[in-house]
Chain A
Amino acid sequence: MTAARLPRAGDALKQGVLLLAAFMALVPTLFMVLTALKSDEDHAINKLGLPETIVTEHFRSVLIDSPFLAWMANSFILVAGAVLLGTIVSCLAAYAIACMEFRGRDTLLAASTSLMAVPPIVMIVPLFVLYTQLGLISTYQGAIIIYAGLITPFSVYLLTTFFRTVPKELFESAHIDGAGHFLILLKIVLPLSLPALVTLVVVNSLYVWNDLLIAIIFLQEDSKRTLMAGISVFQGRYNNQVPLTMAGMVIASAPMFILYVTFQKHFIRGLMAGAIK
């Protein structure tokens, strides 16, 4: 074991690689933050360095003069609605698939899970036409239904796997006590599956929050615009004011960033689970 303690060329190289990787990973964020703190003139002549004087005007501009906060509120509404709806639907279905017997059970699971591989873009054309006919374009409920639909296949898959691990004895004793299925789901299975549920909520929230495609097509009205759609609008409108744009980006990434730093473990676990998507 002592050999490992002596610094060797190999160790220095490994440090170097990790240092480089970390630097690459951080550079855009650094640029974003530093530029947001520069004045327009400062940025024009000094793109790479530290700000000459720290300017906080842009942040004020973004928060007060532009609809960033409204956009974030919209994104939040969609996340809450879609994750709630999707989770409820998935819990019910996963419970039935994992803990009950019925005809078509395995086919349903297989079909639902394969839908994970279908790219959302494929669904866009008919849903766009249908929604226009039903007047659902630019409505929260319309978009929530679509998002909920897109996140359920993965949720059902994950929850089914988890629910299957609940020991049969718990079911049996609950039945003996006279509990019906719903109670079992609520009082036994869900509490035991809390880690999976948390992971699921994290992954699904990220998915809905970060989505651009559905948001652009189905939430076209200015007042319902989400953060991501708003960003592509924002950068177009203010593309000649780079520090202002960067300030907007800093504010836009703040929620996820804060969550990441605070709930690192859950986040990472969620990302790992989401990666299996």
Chain B
Amino acid sequence: MNPSSRLTPYLYVMPLLALLAFVFGYPLIRIFEFSFKMVRGINGPWIGFRNYELVLTQSLFWESILHNLQLLLAIPAMVIISLLVSILLYERVAGWRIYRIIVFVPFVLAIPIIAVVMKRMFQFSGPVNEFLRWLSLDFLALDWIGSSDVALWTVMILIIWRESALGIILFLARLLSLDESMIEAARLEGASWWQRVWYIILPQMRGVIEFFVVVSVITMLAAVFAYVFVMGGGRGGPGTSTTVVELYIFNALIRTSLPGIASAASVLLFLVSVLLIFPLFSARRRAREQEG
């Protein structure tokens, strides 16, 4: 390679640098700055750690964190569902081509759309409850949307429904690159389906499963805004039972006009996401290494 000039590479990356500096660099510096100020509108006086004090002692903030953590409980369900379906698809069970097209559909529909539909379906006097009552399962006909005890679980159901499709995509991709001969050999030796899965398939999928888990963790902590915003009536309701950290920041900025508070919370969330960068990258590296 013969660089025609020492400056050329820098010219090529300059647009990238400019864009990233504007969209990431500038904000990241400013959230730290704002978090130490009492911001009204666009600026304000320096108040040291007061914003952090207020945020960290506000029960709503911890409630939001708790809800994010609660959403993590969705991950085992997502992994199991995705594994099951992807393995069955891989085994080319009759009609698998059609099934494959269908099970990706949840991921094709945008989150706001699906949240609106689910919200209607899970109304107290809506179709889901009607169906449950028709099966005489009245005790299961909960107030899915309206009860603060249940609402977060309803959001979780929606998240599992949609994000499992992602898991299926990932797992199937990995499965298709597996060495079939080992599995075939095991079957000929009389290994049961369960044994084949547990002893041969799963170990080879460890990398991609790990990766999926880490991606899902990041999602639950920092990428569920759309789900909660639409299902929770724009406020993380009922009450505050579906508020998550993203919504906390959004409300602080937009609804209660407190950019300083929103910035402090943003800083905290940023620090957490930084911590998660390392597991994410090493999980991805290991997944790719496993594929060889």
Contact = CB atoms under 8 A, between A and B. Distances in A.
A260 B250 contact: no
Contacts, number: 277
Contact of A97 (B3, B13, B20): B13
B interface majority secondary structure: helix
Contact of B9 (A85, A96, A172): A96
Interface string B1-23: 11110101110110111011011
A50 to B, nearest CB: 13
Interface string A104-125: 0100100011110111011111
Interface stretch (B53-61, B85-93, B198-206): B85-93
B72 interface: no
Given A125-B259, A129-B259, A152-B20, A119 B223 contact: yes
Given A29-B105, A101-B1, A210 B270 contact: no
A18 to B, nearest CB: 5
Contact of A47 (B126, B254, B266): B126
A interface majority secondary structure: helix
B46 interface: no
Chain A residues touching B, range: 35 or more
Contact of A213 (B110, B120, B134, B226): B226
Interface string B97-119: 01101111111111111101111
A163 to B, nearest CB: 12
Contact of A133 (B22, B42, B108, B165): B42
B2 A175 contact: yes
Chain B residues touching A, range: 35 or more
B110 A209 contact: yes
A149 B166 contact: no
A100 B12 contact: yes
Contacts of A24: 161
A253 interface: yes
B111 A124 contact: no
10 contacts: A123-B23, A123-B24, A130-B30, A145-B19, A149-B22, A150-B23, A249-B117, A256-B110, A267-B108, A276-B211
Given A172-B1, A228-B226, 8 more contacts: A47-B127, A115-B24, A122-B28, A124-B27, A126-B263, A129-B34, A146-B23, A152-B16
Interface of B: 1-4, 6, 8-10, 12-13, 15-17, 19-20, 22-24, 26-28, 30-31, 34, 39, 42, 81, 84-85, 88-89, 91, 93-96, 98-99, 101-114, 116-121, 126-127, 130-131, 134, 161, 165-166, 169-170, 173, 193, 211, 215, 218, 221-223, 225-226, 229-230, 234, 246, 249-250, 253-254, 259, 262-263, 266, 269-270, 273-274, 276-277, 280-281, 284
